[in-house]
């Protein structure tokens, strides 16, 4: 896969984004980028840490090791009601290394 899969982190619960990372890596995308703006940056950091530590039931579907390869802080101008405002942006690149565990049937 040459394109990096981008997961935009918003206001959904944490586990929704962890599941999105798991699904991307199960599909063969071993490099995934989390992208968050403004108030959702802390949620993106939490998602990256849950994936890196493989903590929780959902994260058990990740490869043996998940590394944080790259962090990029940026800002962008967004049009708003009171004109243009500047919003912080954080991009976190995750890389899955090793085998993805076999899915167990319930």
Please state at what angle helix 41-53 crosses helix 14-26, rounded to 10 degrees.
Answer: 50
* Per-residue model confidence as pLDDT tens digits over 19-63: 999 999 999 899 999 999 999 999 999 999 999 998 888 888 899
Rounded distance between C-alpha atoms, residue 84 and residue 86, angstroms? 7
CA dihedral (73, 78, 82, 83) in degrees, to 10, reads 110
Q: Identify the CATH assignment for 5-97 out of 3.30.110.20, 3.40.50.2300, 3.30.530.20, 3.40.50.80.
A: 3.30.110.20
Q: Summarize the confidence of residues 66-80 as an average pLDDT.
A: 94
| Domain segments of the chain as ranges | 5-97
Q: pTM value?
A: 0.86
pLDDT recorded at residue 1: 44
The whole-angstrom separation of Cα 90 and Cα 106 is: 37
């Amino acid at each position: 896969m040459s394109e990096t899969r981008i997961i935009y982190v918003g206001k959904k619960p944490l586990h929704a984004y962890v599941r999105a990372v798991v699904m991307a890596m199960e599909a063969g995308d071993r490099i995934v980028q989390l992208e968050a703006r403004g108030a959702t940056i802390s949620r993106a950091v939490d998602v990256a840490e849950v994936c890196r530590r493989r903590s929780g039931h959902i994260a058990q579907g990740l490869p043996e090791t998940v590394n944080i390869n790259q962090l990029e802080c940026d800002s962008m101008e967004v049009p708003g009601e009171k004109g243009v405002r500047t919003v912080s942006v954080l991009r976190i690149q995750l890389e899955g290394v090793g085998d993805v565990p076999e899915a167990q049937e319930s």
